[in-house]
Structure 1
Amino acid sequence: MKLFEELQQLLAPDRVTNNETILEQHSKDESYHTPHLPEIVVFPENADEVSQVIKLANKHDTAVVPFGFGSSLEGNAIPYDAGIVLDFSMMNKVLEIREDDFLVKVQPGVTRSQLDKELKKYGLFFSVDPGADATLGGMAATNASGTTAVRYGIMRDQVRDLEVVLADGSIIHTGNLAAKSSSGYHLNGLFVGSEGTLGCFTELTLKVYGIPEHVMAARASFASVDNAVEAVIAILQAGIPVARVELADEQSIKQMNLFSDTNYKEVPTLFLEFHGNEAGLNQDVEFTKEIVYDRNCQDIEFETDTAGRNRLWEARHNVAYAYIHGHPGKKQMVTDVCLPISELAGAIKDARIAVEQSGLEGGIVGHVGDGNYHILLMVDVNDPKDIEKATAVNEHIVDYALARGGTCTGEHGVGVGKQKYQQKEHGQSLDVMRKIKQALDPAGVFNPNKVIGTRPPVR
């Protein structure tokens, strides 16, 4: 294979492989979507090597798919057109920490936990917490968010600059180090969330924050989902700077108890966290108590020590694995829609009905502070009826969200799983997106047939 030989000459033989085991590892993500083997996996060490690989891919008319940690949930990095997978695990250096500017410069293969370990030395932390220990390049590619978005914002809000290798192999920067700019088009916003369809990220400059003086977590139990969501809206309207506010329905709490050996009351539950100084935080907590008890809160318990907070958030983060553990032999379809927060309670109640009518096992969790929720559906991927039922539930909740001014995905991205909703959500704007793709990647080298793909992927 001439391309294989040319890549080995470029990178060295030990960083270019068609080993079956490694190909298989790069054929899938954590979703239920069908795997597909790439032809070659390469491990670049710098932007120049990425550029040279892309030039070779153009020469041989071969697809290129960037790959971080494989934790995506919509088939975002599955190489359905085979080709080359660019694995960024060897580009995993924290390049610079500018503590006075609250900025950090990293390579795309750096993971969230790796970065936070380095930042802790400076009294800083990175705010985006998607649950999985994903790579920062992958998080930027899908515009990830998670539990802390309600206070600190999503991945797009943290990106100050990107180094991007384009489809012709040229290397550009999309921003700068300044806190704001009115100069030119907002390229950061264009590339973040593009899922590897417009370019490869080889360096990211990200905003970071000072570690709060005090942190307190809480768990509040409610009689109904309506009451829980009403409490969240009231907390936000009161201006309480809540750092996290997560909802788990009673079915999810049940799985949580089984998996994490907790004994939480099996009712709709909010998980909250507050950041601040001691005096201000105590005031926020007292005000929050008043608000939740006015909304039929049955019980609220606070965790002030680190171990207690970690137990609480570990249980919340592990709820997806709790469902997998509780349903051996099945895989998980994780839905992901986002609505205006005023529509959230109705959406969650409607989603619960849809799950029960499907006959599938599933729970609902959500980042309710920003209107984003997920259904964790357990399916037998070898049973077409299960897939059909799960797809119907997914389509139902997307239609519900779009009809109320929402989106088909709040943080997981489009990949292949949400392509069919793009026309309905974006209308004529989808044509603009396709023109941008055509302008930046005319040969369709980057992650073909993803996000705005015009033909079905190879399955």
Structure 2
Amino acid sequence: MSAKRLAMRAMPLGRSVVATATLRGPCIAGRQHFTTSLLRRAAAGSHHEPRAASVWSLSNVFAVAVTAGLMGWGASELRHGGFPGTMLLDGGLDTPRYASMREMEQALEEIRRELVNPDCISTDPEDLHAHGYSEWSTVNPEGLPVAVAYPRSTDQVAAIARVCHKYRIPIIPYSGGSSLEGNFSAPFGGISIDFAYMDKIVQFNKEDMDIVVQPSIGWQDLNEQLAKMGSGLFFPIDPGPSAKVGGMIGTNCSGTNAVKYGTMKDWVINLTVVLADGTVIKTRRRPRKSSAGYNLNGLFVGSEGTLGLVTEATLKLSVIPEEFSVAVVTFPSIRDAASAAAEVMQTGIPVAAMEIMDEVQMKVVNMGGATAPRVWKELPTLFFKFSGTKAGVKENISMVQRITKANKGGNFEFAKDEREQKLLWSARKESLWSMLALRKEGDEVWSTDVAVPFSRLADIIEVSKKEMDELGLFASILGHIGDGNFHESIIYNRQIKGEREKVEMCVKNMVKRALEMEGTCTGEHSIGWGKKESLLWEVGPDTLGVMRSIKAALDPRWIMLVPQWPWVGLGLLTRFVLGTRERFLTDRLW
């Protein structure tokens, strides 16, 4: 969104644009032209038109950002019938009071004093937009953060949290910004905490095979640094290339190596967490196992920033295997490919990774050109990664070849060297970006996931593909087939009447099928805004009530990523979702 669009969103109907001011964001180079008289009057507390344009003071800039955020904040209140707060199971709502505009200004000034460095806070309109909107997210609620904070340490994060708690200001953590379900949206305003400057290795314990890192280090950067040290170790969790450790912890992500190495929760030893009131805790000490007290790692991993802000993480590392091999094999149908994958798992062959891409996704990769000059067969394809000892890898390849051949698979194509390994595997890693590259003007991509027991994967993929084809949607399927997790990526244009509605119906049907198959509404993307109703479908009101109680205990003022999960008006929500009415009225409930 441009700065002009941001200004127009905040302007009431009937008001004309009569003045232009130039804003300079303290953390973003360049100037943004911001046009509106309403916002200046709001900043000055006056109802009179200004006589001429002028360069605004720093306090005026704060006020503009506050106004923009609060406009969205207020609009959400009018639309949804109240701000999130402490909920009662009968549908009642005890609404908390959030900061007024004056209190927001005071809070920003107080944070600046606490952090000393004035560059730690940005109110630049484009910066706010970047932290409240994502072009690849399934949903983008109206509203933006009022400011973006850039802390450099745990102490600074704690200081920001203390001020936000004092003034009742929502806090939204921001890591890599690659989430797909609106996880860092800010429809109620608040402050986005971007950990961009907290991307360091704090401590490396080679003998113990663990490492302490800050939340904004990327998993690829971490592995590159480990390689440069000649450590012989690596961090095996590998989601999207741009993912950062903080977001990976928040969503309990997995990635292509999950079939062998598990998910993020299996690699976290302990966490340093800043709670809603600024209290700093450490979940455990450094041994890999402990039975001392509650498993707080399990509480914060997967909580999406609703319970605390992770500022350091101690992670396990693994030894780099002696031998690697990457291979691809095509199949005549997606069912044949899924059946082969299920048999590999049921036989107990320890593959390092096993991924699936349908014929549409293979075509998308070819069209996107990310792996040029390589051209792929446009058929359902399984990607295998083998690792271990040389003898073990050779034996595993032989067994997998027999299984794929029995399920109508073609010949294995192996990478000859490390360069070809990266090329073969790049088709899987470039899948989403290849889809994004195909968008025409007005097009958007809806990418979402579910997971089922792998014995049901062929069933759900086949039915979901058939429905997408019947609806005339350009959609592809890919996934971590070794653990029953698959993704749909759908290109649509919301300007075409009824097209987004078709996509929403297709995704909801896929989620319902997954739940009927004893699966989950999300294997690794987490809940965010996009799947709040699906969480209730999956766990039910009693389990959700336990989550609500934990949330209320750790964040009684409901300031941490406030609007995310369907805790608000839980009783009312339950009656619609689990009752006799088939249609889920999201807009009315939120």
Query: Distance between the aligned counterparts of 2:108 and 2:181, measured in 1?
Result: 29
Query: Distance between the aligned counterparts of 2:236 and 2:444, measured in 1?
Result: 29
- Name the counterpart of 1:259: 368
Q: Do the aligned partners of 1:107 and 1:202 also contact (CA within 8 Å) in 2?
A: yes
Query: Distance between the aligned counterparts of 1:103 and 1:270, measured in 2?
Result: 33
Deviation at 1:383, TM superposition (A): 4.1
Counterpart selection for 2:123 from 12, 18, 29? 18
Q: Which range moved further: 140-149 or 311-320?
A: 311-320
- Name the counterpart of 1:27: 132
Query: Distance between the aligned counterparts of 1:387 and 1:124, measured in 2?
Result: 45
Query: Distance between the aligned counterparts of 2:341 and 2:207, measured in 1?
Result: 34
2:541 is the alignment partner of 1:432: no
Question: 5 Å matches for 1:330-349?
Answer: 330-349=443-462
Per-residue CA distance 1:364-387 (angstroms, 9 max, x = gap): 001000000011001224445221
Query: Distance between the aligned counterparts of 1:34 and 1:375, measured in 2?
Result: 18
Deviation at 1:212, TM superposition (A): 1.2
Query: Distance between the aligned counterparts of 2:292 and 2:110, measured in 1?
Result: 41
Give structure 1 stretches of 5+ with no counterpart.
none
Counterpart selection for 1:223 from 332, 342, 349? 332
Per-residue CA distance 1:378-405 (angstroms, 9 max, x = gap): 1224445221111101100000000111
Query: Distance between the aligned counterparts of 1:323 and 1:64, measured in 2?
Result: 32
Deviation at 1:186, TM superposition (A): 1.2
User: Which residue identity lines up with residue 363 of structure 1 in the other structure?
Assistant: S
- Name the counterpart of 1:416: 529
Deviation at 1:280, TM superposition (A): 1.4
Aligned residue for 1:217, secondary structure, equals strand
User: Which residue identity lines up with residue 559 of structure 2 in the other structure?
Assistant: V
User: Which residue identity lines up with residue 25 of structure 1 in the other structure?
Assistant: A
Deviation at 1:98, TM superposition (A): 1.2
Per-residue CA distance 1:257-286 (angstroms, 9 max, x = gap): 222333222211001100111121111111
Distance 1:207 1:54, change over 3 A: same
User: Which residue identity lines up with residue 191 of structure 1 in the other structure?
Assistant: F
Deviation at 1:25, TM superposition (A): 1.4
Counterpart selection for 2:149 from 27, 42, 61? 42
Query: Distance between the aligned counterparts of 2:537 and 2:346, measured in 1?
Result: 32
Count matched residues: 459
Q: Which range moved further: 207-216 or 21-30?
A: 21-30
Question: 5 Å matches for 1:114-193?
Answer: 114-120=221-227, 121=229, 122-193=231-302
Counterpart selection for 1:313 from 414, 417, 425? 425
Per-residue CA distance 1:394-425 (angstroms, 9 max, x = gap): 10000000011100000001001000111210
Q: Which range moved further: 208-217 or 297-306?
A: 297-306
- Name the counterpart of 1:444: 558
- Name the counterpart of 2:435: 323
Q: Do the aligned partners of 2:220 and 2:241 also contact (CA within 8 Å) in 1?
A: no
Deviation at 1:154, TM superposition (A): 0.5
- Name the counterpart of 1:113: 220
Counterpart selection for 1:73 from 180, 186, 189? 180
Query: Distance between the aligned counterparts of 2:124 and 2:376, measured in 1?
Result: 47
Deviation at 1:205, TM superposition (A): 0.6
Deviation at 1:179, TM superposition (A): 2.0
Q: Do the aligned partners of 1:434 and 1:452 also contact (CA within 8 Å) in 2?
A: no
Aligned residue for 1:80, secondary structure, equals coil
- Name the counterpart of 2:108: 4
- Name the counterpart of 1:104: 211
User: Which residue identity lines up with residue 318 of structure 2 in the other structure?
Assistant: Y
User: Which residue identity lines up with residue 128 of structure 2 in the other structure?
Assistant: L
Higher alpha-carbon Rg: 2
Query: Distance between the aligned counterparts of 1:165 and 1:384, measured in 2?
Result: 45
Aligned residue for 2:498, secondary structure, equals helix
Deviation at 1:180, TM superposition (A): 1.7
User: Which residue identity lines up with residue 53 of structure 1 in the other structure?
Assistant: I
Deviation at 1:201, TM superposition (A): 0.3
Question: 5 Å matches for 1:365-384?
Answer: 365-383=478-496
Aligned residue for 1:336, secondary structure, equals strand
Deviation at 1:288, TM superposition (A): 1.3
- Name the counterpart of 1:407: 520
> What value does the CA root-mean-square deviation take over the aligned residues?
1.5
Deviation at 1:190, TM superposition (A): 1.1
Aligned residue for 1:96, secondary structure, equals strand
Query: Distance between the aligned counterparts of 1:449 and 1:434, measured in 2?
Result: 13
Per-residue CA distance 1:405-452 (angstroms, 9 max, x = gap): 100000001001000111210012111001110111110010002134
Counterpart selection for 1:84 from 159, 177, 191? 191
Q: Do the aligned partners of 1:355 and 1:393 also contact (CA within 8 Å) in 2?
A: yes
User: Which residue identity lines up with residue 27 of structure 1 in the other structure?
Assistant: G
Q: Do the aligned partners of 1:41 and 1:85 also contact (CA within 8 Å) in 2?
A: yes
2:380 is the alignment partner of 1:271: no
Deviation at 1:208, TM superposition (A): 1.1
Query: Distance between the aligned counterparts of 1:245 and 1:275, measured in 2?
Result: 12
Query: Distance between the aligned counterparts of 2:352 and 2:223, measured in 1?
Result: 17
Q: Which range moved further: 404-413 or 307-316?
A: 307-316
- Name the counterpart of 1:208: 317
User: Which residue identity lines up with residue 116 of structure 1 in the other structure?
Assistant: N
Counterpart selection for 1:243 from 341, 352, 368? 352
User: Which residue identity lines up with residue 352 of structure 2 in the other structure?
Assistant: A
Q: Do the aligned partners of 2:544 and 2:567 also contact (CA within 8 Å) in 1?
A: no
Per-residue CA distance 1:75-118 (angstroms, 9 max, x = gap): 00111211111110111111111122211100111111211111
Query: Distance between the aligned counterparts of 1:112 and 1:259, measured in 2?
Result: 25
Q: Do the aligned partners of 1:76 and 1:416 also contact (CA within 8 Å) in 2?
A: yes
Query: Distance between the aligned counterparts of 1:158 and 1:381, measured in 2?
Result: 40
Distance 1:141 1:393, change over 3 A: same
Query: Distance between the aligned counterparts of 2:305 and 2:367, measured in 1?
Result: 38
Q: Do the aligned partners of 1:245 and 1:367 also contact (CA within 8 Å) in 2?
A: yes
Query: Distance between the aligned counterparts of 2:260 and 2:275, measured in 1?
Result: 33
Determine what percentage of the aligned residue pairs are the same residue.
Answer: 38
Query: Distance between the aligned counterparts of 1:384 and 1:53, measured in 2?
Result: 44
Give structure 2 stretches of 5+ with no counterpart.
1-104, 570-585
Q: Do the aligned partners of 1:71 and 1:132 also contact (CA within 8 Å) in 2?
A: no
Q: Do the aligned partners of 2:138 and 2:448 also contact (CA within 8 Å) in 1?
A: no
Deviation at 1:24, TM superposition (A): 1.4
Query: Distance between the aligned counterparts of 1:72 and 1:374, measured in 2?
Result: 14
